Structure 1
Amino acid sequence: MALSPEEASTVGKVISCKAAVIWAVGEAPVIEQIEVAPPEAGEVRIRIAYTSICHSDLHVWKNQNTKGLHPRILGHEAAGIVESVGEGVTDFQQGDHVLPIFMGECKLCAFCTSPKTNICSNFPVNPMRGTRVIDGKSRFSIKGQTLYSCYGSTFSQYTVLEHQSLVKINPAAELDKVLLLSCGASSGLGAVWKTAKMEPKSSVAVFGLGTVGYSVAEGARVAGASRIIGVDINPSKFELGKLSGFTDFVNPNDSERPVEEVIQQLANGGVDYSFECVGNTKLMESAFNSCKPGGSTIVLGVTASRVAKMELTPSSLLAGRSIVGCLYGGWKLSDIPDLVERYQRKVRSSSHNN
Structure 2
Amino acid sequence: MSARHVFSSVRAIGARQHFGARCFSASSAAQAKWGFVGLGQMGYPMAKNLRAKVPQADSLIIYDINESTTRQFVEEASDPAHAAGASVTVAKSLQDVARNSETVITMLPQPKHVKAVYDDFMAAGLENPPSRLFIDCSTIDVKTSLDVGAAVRALGHEFVDAPVSGGVVGASAGTLTFMLGAPDHIVSRVQPILERMGKRVVHMGKPGTGIVGKLANNYLLAISNLATAETMNFGIKLGLEPKTLASLINCSTGRCWPSEVNNPVPGVVETAPASREYQGGFGVSLMAKDLKLAIAAAELADAKLVLADSAKRMYDEAEVHEECKGRDFSVVYKYLQLLEKK
For normalisation by structure 1, the TM-score amounts to 0.30
Structure number with higher helix proportion: 2
> TM-score, normalization: structure 2?
0.31
